[in-house]
Structure 1
């Protein structure tokens, strides 16, 4: 099989890029290790910046997003005594939209056939070859048969554990990582949200987040030590802990219900440089991970895809080699700014085991400053709604 661009991974990043390239008249094929049902079963983020909403609009796939997405003008920081509202719309003129990553993936998946985007699911043993040449290729197996795609470029959208990043020689790369000493225990339930905007809470017992997927489906989190096990947390125990950490006002409006999904996600900050080596480009979690504080993961993948599409369109439509050469630098400039915001919000809203009275006083002082300073709130709002691409 021959194509111009081979995309590894059919999550949102891979599907977004496939649609964008096809819309530009650039031939591409997407391969995915999992089945479509498995891809849709992944429970992920749901707060979309304008860059992500804009890609859906550009592709003409935003009808359901507009009908079902919840437009949010702000969010809240809770310090145990009050809610500090960050008025994103008032301070920046921009909003975010709550619309689950699963729904984005479903929309992209269902529209693939009509756009002529070929997606091959259920492949194994994926390997990337000759990325330092002008004729790289990808091999895989499916149902006992071997497959191969020859392409001009390979795009790794295959997540943190995929093969793409590993194909880049260690001598040509640098990795930056911060592993956090806790995970997020999350519960998804068909209950109305306790507040019409997200609440990030810093409580003496730990962090909590009240979020939502729709008017009737809510997503809540608390941070727990990495030694905790999901099976030790009954639904009632988790609801009780959420009520304490989110505070009495949120608890009074909280509706409890059985968990549709419950899991513990470890947190890390991670960046791999460069995001391009030869004929291989990396997008999304293949190149970087952010802690979910601040909801940047999916949105960073969307900005990567935006830059990658521009670079590939420049190469194939205008014979502009500089566009591909500059991809990594452009993408990483936004990645590091988003990493900074996610890291700083994580530090502000969580109690770290190694922290003492001084660090706690710094959190209190920072929250006091944010509560009293429009300039501080504006800086947070600017980062939360998404920096320009």
Structure 2
């Protein structure tokens, strides 16, 4: 078998890349080791930048997002017992959209199916080969039969634990990582959100976040120790702890109910450099991870895909390698800015082991400066709604 671009991973990064390449007339083939239901069952981010929505529109997969997504003009920061609204639209002219990553993935799956494009699910033992030559290939096993896929390029969109980055020689790659000493305990509930915009709360007991997936489904998080287990957090304990970390107005408005999903996620910042290895490129979580505080994970994957699809289009349409040669540097420049922003938001809002006395006072001073300064508000807003591609 042969294709122009072999894409490893059928998450939103791989699916979006496949649709963009298809719209440019570039053949592509997607391999995914899990089932479609497993991919759709992963609970992930739910906030889209305008640039991400524009890419969905470009491939004809944005109709449902515009119909069902919730457009937000701002966020609220809670500290010292009160809330302060950040009007991002006033500061930047831009908004964000609340629309779950699961829904994005489903829309892209349906778009790919409608276009008659190939995605092989439950592809076992996927391995990229010879990507440091002019003749890369990918092997995989399906129904006990081994297949070989010849291609011009390989796109590794297979996540943090995927095979693509792991196939690179350690001497050819450098990684940068910060692991945070806490996690996020999150629940999903069939309850109306406590506020029409997100609430980020800095509290002496730890960080809390109130967000939503729709007007009848809410997503809440509380900071917790890394060694906690969800069995230690029955619903009643979670709701009680969340209330302790919110202002009184939010507590009075909070509607509680049974959780329909509950999980604990560790937080880390991670970047792999470069993002190109001969004829294999990394995109999305395969190349970088950010803590969810800045809402950048899915959106960074989308910007990677934008850069990569544009570079491949230039290669095939204009016979120029300038785009693919510059892909890694161009993508990483935006990645590191998002990593910085996510680190800053995490550092400002969470309780660290040394956040006592001096550390707590610095956080409070930072928050007070932020809500009282137009320049600081504009800076947060510019990064939150998404830096330009």
Normalised TM-score (structure 2): 0.99
* Count of equivalent residues: 389
Cα displacement string for residues 330-387 of structure 1 (whole angstroms, at most 9, x for unaligned residues): 0000000000000000000001013331111110110110121111000000000000
Could you tell me which residue of structure 1 aligns to residue 271 of structure 2?
271
Cα displacement string for residues 225-247 of structure 1 (whole angstroms, at most 9, x for unaligned residues): 01101011000110111111122
Is the partner of 1:246 in helix, strand or coil? Answer: coil
8 A Cα contact 1:46 1:99, kept in partner = yes
Higher alpha-carbon deviation: 91-100 or 79-88: 79-88
Could you tell me which residue of structure 2 aligns to residue 19 of structure 1?
19
1:90 aligns with 2:99: no
**C-alpha deviation, 1:154, in angstroms:** 0.2
**C-alpha deviation, 1:115, in angstroms:** 1.7
Q: Distance in 1 between matches of 2:315 and 2:354?
A: 49
CA-based RMSD of the aligned residues comes to 0.8
Could you tell me which residue of structure 1 aligns to residue 342 of structure 2?
342
Is the partner of 1:261 in helix, strand or coil? Answer: strand
Q: Distance in 1 between matches of 2:336 and 2:230?
A: 32
1:124 aligns with 2:124: yes
**C-alpha deviation, 1:255, in angstroms:** 0.7
Could you tell me which residue of structure 1 aligns to residue 34 of structure 2?
34
Alignment of 1:3-18 (within 5 A): 3-18=3-18
Alignment of 1:1-389 (within 5 A): 1-389=1-389
Cα displacement string for residues 294-340 of structure 1 (whole angstroms, at most 9, x for unaligned residues): 11000000000000000110111111111100000000000000000
Q: Distance in 2 between matches of 1:141 and 1:248?
A: 56
Is the partner of 1:34 in helix, strand or coil? Answer: coil
8 A Cα contact 1:79 1:203, kept in partner = yes
8 A Cα contact 1:80 1:201, kept in partner = no
Is the partner of 2:126 in helix, strand or coil? Answer: strand
**C-alpha deviation, 1:61, in angstroms:** 1.7
Higher alpha-carbon deviation: 332-341 or 116-125: 116-125
8 A Cα contact 1:208 1:223, kept in partner = yes
Cα displacement string for residues 245-280 of structure 1 (whole angstroms, at most 9, x for unaligned residues): 122111111111111100000000000000001000
Normalised TM-score (structure 1): 0.99
Cα displacement string for residues 200-225 of structure 1 (whole angstroms, at most 9, x for unaligned residues): 10011000000000000000000100
Is the partner of 2:240 in helix, strand or coil? Answer: helix
Is the partner of 2:200 in helix, strand or coil? Answer: strand
Cα displacement string for residues 95-133 of structure 1 (whole angstroms, at most 9, x for unaligned residues): 000000000000000111222321100011111110100
- The unaligned stretches of length 5 or more in structure 2 are none
Q: Distance in 2 between matches of 1:55 and 1:40?
A: 20
Q: Distance in 1 between matches of 2:45 and 2:85?
A: 21
Q: Distance in 1 between matches of 2:51 and 2:229?
A: 36
8 A Cα contact 2:3 2:150, kept in partner = yes
Any runs of at least 4 consecutive aligned residues in structure 1 with deviations exceeding 3 A, and if so which?
A: none
Higher alpha-carbon deviation: 285-294 or 73-82: 73-82
